[in-house]
Amino acid sequence: MCLAVPGKLIGIRGDDPLTRSGKVDFGGIIKEINLAFVPEAREGDYVLVHAGIALGLVDEKEAARVFQYLEEIYSGDARGEK
């Protein structure tokens, strides 16, 4: 139920805060998505979408953390900080 999928915002329509919407590309499938809760979203951003509504933006830098975390563990070990 709480499934939410990231997709790339490729076009924005309207400026009413409640009905502002955008075309979002989910790996080739394009859907019209409500942008009421991501007023900061711009074309090219990745938005997280649930039930036709964008719930947030995906932060690219933070997304890399799942890989950096392992490196941090290893370097912590190497320095004997574990």
Positions that interact with another protein (CB under 8 A): 1-6, 8, 18-19, 26-27, 34, 36-39, 46, 48, 50-53, 55-60, 62-63, 65-67, 69-70, 73
The nearer residue to another protein, 11 or 17, going by C-beta atoms, is 17
The nearer residue to another protein, 11 or 68, going by C-beta atoms, is 68
Q: How far apart are CA 15 and CA 28, in angstroms?
A: 26
- Residue the block writes with tokens 């590309």: 25
Residue 35, classified by CB atoms within 10 Å of its CB into exposed (0-12), middle (13-18) or buried (19+), is: buried
Q: How far is the CB of 17 from another protein (least distance, A)?
A: 8
